[in-house]
Amino acid sequence: MNSRRILVFAAALIPAAFAASAAFGEERQHQAYRLPDNAGIVDQIISVAFEPSAVFLLGEMSRGEIRQYSAAAVALPDEEQQTSAKKRSIVGAPVAIENGSSTGQSFRFSFFMAGEDGTFAATEVKRWSTDQLRNNTENISELLREISTFETKLKRKRVEYAAVEVELSEMRKDAAEISEVDEIVQLKMQLTAKQDAVKKKNEESERLRKLIEAGRQIEDPPDIDHYRLELAAALTEAAKVTAVADRLSKRQHEAARQGFLRKLELVRALDTTTPEALAKEALRLRKQRRELESRLGITSSDTHSEEF
């Protein structure tokens, strides 16, 4: 019998076995966790979309008698669940083995499940022989021994896990201390870098101070006044040149601005002048030029016609 059935039998069917013992006319023995000889266990894996809160088995015995037995359901572990929305569970119930039943006799059964919200489901009807029922039944004491073995392993695992947890706690503590040490090292490195920068600044300041002091101790050359006069004259001349350049730049800027304004006025004037007026003005100017050339005795090379 695998661990899934052990879970079902240990968690649910043992109390059901006591109820079956009373139903079969036998005294309940809390000390002898054992199914009566005339009872067997029927179990089946089901898939339903809800968690059963009530389960029972309805069986039709070989003589046509209909009987109802209390049953139990236990959800399978997560690793044995499928990807569908339905949850897989194993259901089981103790069923009476009819007195005088012979090999080959069979009975039919179906499990009925109900949810807390009234949801209802049932399995398809199956047929089992009396031999199948007997072969599927194991002594409860044997199941309890297997459960005890599992409990012992579980306790040992818990002790191991507790030791691992202690070790993990120590590792977390060490990691926290290492993290603090890393922060201290980083602060130390930052402090060292700042101290080096301050030291370099102090060294540079000291070097400049010595240079200034050395410069002050150097005596002026004999003709220093002559050089100073030349430098002053050169600076004065440079200032004059700069002033002249500034004035010329301003004049050029103003001339350019005035030229732009004249062109702008001309464009504006042309906007209000018709082509006929422009042609007449051009003829008038040509006529004035020819008259001026005639008075001055100048021959013009202009061959344009005065008529359009």
For residue 288, tell me if it sits in a domain. Answer: yes
For residue 162, tell me if it sits in a domain. Answer: yes
Domain end marker among 152, 181, 210? 181
Q: Residue 55's beta-bridge partner residues?
A: 113
176 and 128 together in one domain? no
For residue 189, tell me if it sits in a domain. Answer: no
Domain end marker among 115, 138, 161? 138
Give the pLDDT confidence score for residue 83 in this predicted structure: 62
Give 67's contacts (C-beta < 8 A, 6+ positions apart): 58, 59, 61, 95, 96
8 and 134 together in one domain? yes
Give the pLDDT confidence score for residue 279 in this predicted structure: 80
Question: Which pTM value belongs to this model?
Answer: 0.39
For residue 59, tell me if it sits in a domain. Answer: yes
Give 66's contacts (C-beta < 8 A, 6+ positions apart): 58, 59, 60
pLDDT band at 111, cuts 50/70/90? very high
44 and 104 together in one domain? yes
8 and 133 together in one domain? yes
For residue 169, tell me if it sits in a domain. Answer: yes
pLDDT band at 11, cuts 50/70/90? very low
Average pLDDT over residues 53-72: 87
1 has pLDDT over 60: no
Average pLDDT over residues 140-153: 78
47 and 103 together in one domain? yes
> What pLDDT, in 10s, does the model give residues 250-302?
888 888 888 888 877 777 776 666 777 778 878 888 888 888 888 877 766 55
Give the pLDDT confidence score for residue 27 in this predicted structure: 40
36 and 55 together in one domain? yes
Give 72's contacts (C-beta < 8 A, 6+ positions apart): 8, 11, 12, 13, 16, 55, 91, 92, 93
209 has pLDDT over 60: yes
For residue 168, tell me if it sits in a domain. Answer: yes
169 has pLDDT over 70: yes
For residue 256, tell me if it sits in a domain. Answer: yes
63 and 162 together in one domain? no
Both structure tokens of 231: 């430098």
Give the pLDDT confidence score for residue 29 in this predicted structure: 39
Give the pLDDT confidence score for residue 112 in this predicted structure: 92
Q: Between residues 129 and 137, which one has the greater pLDDT? A: 129
Exposure of 134 by Cβ count < 10 A (0-12 exposed, 13-18 middle, 19+ buried)?
middle
> What pLDDT, in 10s, does the model give residues 224-235?
777 778 888 888
Both structure tokens of 223: 């003709």
70 and 12 together in one domain? yes
> What pLDDT, in 10s, does the model give residues 82-105?
666 778 888 888 887 766 666 668
Total domain count, the chain: 3
Both structure tokens of 218: 């150097």
CATH number at residue 22: 2.60.40.10
- Domain hosting residue 14, numbered range: 3-138
9 and 105 together in one domain? yes
101 and 70 together in one domain? yes
For residue 227, tell me if it sits in a domain. Answer: no
96 and 150 together in one domain? no
131 and 8 together in one domain? yes
Give the pLDDT confidence score for residue 80 in this predicted structure: 57
